[in-house]
Chain A
Amino acid sequence: AQSVTQLGSHVSVSEGALVLLRCNYSSSVPPYLFWYVQYPNQGLQLLLKYTTGATLVKGINGFEAEFKKSETSFHLTKPSAHMSDAAEYFCAVIPGYSSASKIIFGSGTRLSIRP
Chain B
Amino acid sequence: GAVVSQHPSWVICKSGTSVKIECRSLDFQATTMFWYRQFPKQSLMLMATSNEGSKATYEQGVEKDKFLINHASLTLSTLTVTSAHPEDSSFYICSARIPGLAGAGELFFGEGSRLTVL
Query: Which residue numbers of A lie inside 8 Å of B, CB to CB?
Result: 9, 32, 36, 41-46, 49, 51, 90, 94, 96-101, 103, 105-108, 110
B88 is an interface residue with CB less than 8 A from chain A: no
Complex interface: chain A residues within 8 A of B97 (CB): 100
Q: How far is the CA of A32 from the CA of B91 in the complex (A)?
A: 26
Are the C-beta atoms of B49 and A101 separated by less than 8 Å?
Answer: yes
Which among A9, A42, A97, A105 is the interface contact of B103 at CB below 8 angstroms? Answer: A97
Complex interface: chain B residues within 8 A of A97 (CB): 102-103
| Distance from B95 Cβ to chain A, minimum over Cβ atoms (Å) | 8
CB<8 Å pairs between A and B, sample of 7: A44-B93, A49-B104, A97-B102, A97-B103, A100-B103, A101-B46, A108-B42
Give the contacts of B29-49 with A (CB-CB under 8 A): 32, 34, 41-44, 46, 49
A43-B6 contact given A101-B49, A107-B43, A108-B43, CB 8 Å threshold = yes
From A46, A94, A101, A105, residue with most partner B Cβ within 10 Å? A101
Q: Count CB-based A-B contacts (< 8 Å).
A: 63
Complex interface: chain A residues within 8 A of B67 (CB): none
| Distance from A99 Cβ to chain B, minimum over Cβ atoms (Å) | 6
Are the C-beta atoms of B105 and A100 separated by less than 8 Å?
Answer: yes
| Distance from B34 Cβ to chain A, minimum over Cβ atoms (Å) | 6
Are the C-beta atoms of B44 and A105 separated by less than 8 Å?
Answer: yes
Are the C-beta atoms of A106 and B43 separated by less than 8 Å?
Answer: yes
Are the C-beta atoms of B109 and A43 separated by less than 8 Å?
Answer: yes
Complex interface: chain B residues within 8 A of A90 (CB): 43-44
Q: How far is the CA of A43 from the CA of B34 in the complex (A)?
A: 13
Q: Which residue of A lies closest to B93 (CB)?
A: A43
Q: Which residue of A lies closest to B111 (CB)?
A: A43
Q: How far is the CA of A4 from the CA of B94 in the complex (A)?
A: 21
B114 is an interface residue with CB less than 8 A from chain A: yes
